[in-house]
Amino acid sequence: MSGLDGRVALVTGGARGIGAATASRLAADGADVAIVDVDESSAAQTAKEIAQNTGRRVLGFGADVTDSEQVTAVVDQVAEELGSLGILVNNAGVTRDNLLFKMTDADWDTVIAVHMRGFFLASRAAHRHMVAARWGRIISLSSVSALGTRGQLNYSAAKAGLQGATRTLAIELGPFGITANTVAPGFVVTEMTAQLAERLGATLEAFTAERAAVTPLRRAGTPADIAGVIAFLASDDSSFITGQTIYADGGRRL
Ligand SMILES: NC(=O)c1ccc[n+]([C@@H]2O[C@H](COP(=O)([O-])OP(=O)(O)OC[C@H]3O[C@@H](n4cnc5c(N)ncnc54)[C@H](O)[C@@H]3O)[C@@H](O)[C@H]2O)c1
């Protein structure tokens, strides 16, 4: 018997990276999982692979987390196909890095929309199912960038905003048995950080080695490192923890 037997989870941005590792871990722990991603074909492919590896029901869906109608529809479809939705992981994310003087309106709006509007729309749609069941977990991906990072005015605002919004969710939803927490990773090797390395003109290997050298644990994070923290927050072992941010950064805040 695994810790998440009988639970249904939805992971936004789950087609790859931290989201895919999280979907895989939640399924391995016994949950049925919906992967919702703007990249529908990758979501379906990742879901198929995880289903084969874990024997759980894992389905891929295409939806843009910034689109209210799409989010509402997909959350209801997940509940219909997999059963009462109990675990929501707000993971979908993008970066549009630029120093203030070069940051465009679109850079700002895109990042705030995917992280913050996405969090709002998915949490609003999902919490109705959780309130009905009097049990739920809303886990959102913040970042060490919430503490400030050069070139990430938009992203750090979104990631800090998620921490505040999560504390409010914890207050509003606690009476219904629903916890809300954020996980704030440090440097984790994924497509997102590969793009960052490319933008800075470094190879991913050199960039990763540089980050590892200034991290107390002397390595970069892996998607599985973050998935493990999310799995804990999704489980009953974390049932008295809400409104918190857990930094998973190898000891390096910035
Ligand atoms: N990689 C890191 O070092 C790191 C550090 C701290 C926080 N994070 C956060 O963790 C989360 C996952 O990051 P990652 O590194 O795995 O990124 P990634 O780029 O590898 O994956 C992000 C996923 O989100 C999906 N996505 C993007 N926009 C979407 C939208 N509008 N609707 C639905 N899906 C959408 C993408 O298609 C992709 O599959 C993000 O929120 C990111 O900000 C990452």
Mean pLDDT of 150-170: 98
pLDDT digits (tens, 9 = 90+) for 176-189: 999 999 999 999 99
- Measured from the Cβ of residue 216, the count of other Cβ atoms closer than 10 Å reads 9
- Any atom of ligand 1 within 6 Å of the Cβ of 129: no
For 99, phi then psi, to 5°, come to: -65, 155
Does residue 1 surpass a pLDDT of 50?
no
Indicate if ligand 1 lies below 6 Å from the C-beta of 162.
no
Centroid of ligand 1 to alpha carbon of 94 (angstroms)? 6
Query: Would you say residue 240 has pLDDT above 80?
Result: yes
Rounded to the nearest whole angstrom, what is the distance from the C-alpha of residue 178 to the centroid of ligand 1?
Answer: 24
Ligand 1 atom 23 nearest Cα: 13
Q: List every span in the chain annotated with CATH 3.40.50.720.
A: 8-186+222-248
Write the pLDDT tens digit of every residue in 22-40: 999 999 999 999 999 999 9
User: What is the whole-number distance in angstroms between the Cα of residue 115 and the centre of ligand 1?
Assistant: 9
Interval 3-20: pLDDT, tens? 999 999 999 999 999 999
Report percent pLDDT > 90 for the chain.
Answer: 97
* Residues 97-146 pLDDT 10s: 999 999 999 999 999 999 999 999 999 999 999 999 999 999 999 999 99
Atom 2 (ligand 1) nearest CA: 188
DSSP states of the chain: --TTTT-EEEEETTTSHHHHHHHHHHHHTT-EEEEEESSHHHHHHHHHHHHHHH-S-EEEEE--TT-HHHHHHHHHHHHHHH-S--EEEE-------B-GGG--HHHHHHHHIIIIIHHHHHHHHHHHHHHHHT-EEEEEE--GGGG--TTBHHHHHHHHHHHHHHHHHHHHHGGGTEEEEEEEE--B-SHHHHHHHHHTT--HHHHHHHHHHTSTTSS-B-HHHHHHHHHHHHSGGGTT--S-EEEESTT---
Instruction: Calculate mean pLDDT across residues 164-169.
Output: 98
Please work out whether the CB of residue 97 comes within 6 Å of at least one atom of ligand 1: no
Homologous superfamily of 8-186+222-248: NAD(P)-binding Rossmann-like Domain (3.40.50.720)
* Rounded average pLDDT over 207-213: 95
Answer yes or no: 247 catalytic. Answer: no
Distance in Å, CA 91 to ligand 1 centroid: 6
Ligand 1 atom with least separation from CA of 145: 6
What's the whole-number average pLDDT of the chain? 97
Q: Does 2 score more than 90 pLDDT?
A: no
> What's the gap in Å between 175 CA and the centre of ligand 1?
30
**Model pLDDT, residue 252:** 87
| From 61, 120, 135, 155, active-site residue | 155
Q: Which of 187, 192, 195 to mutate to test the pocket of ligand 1 (most atoms within 8 A of CB)?
A: 192
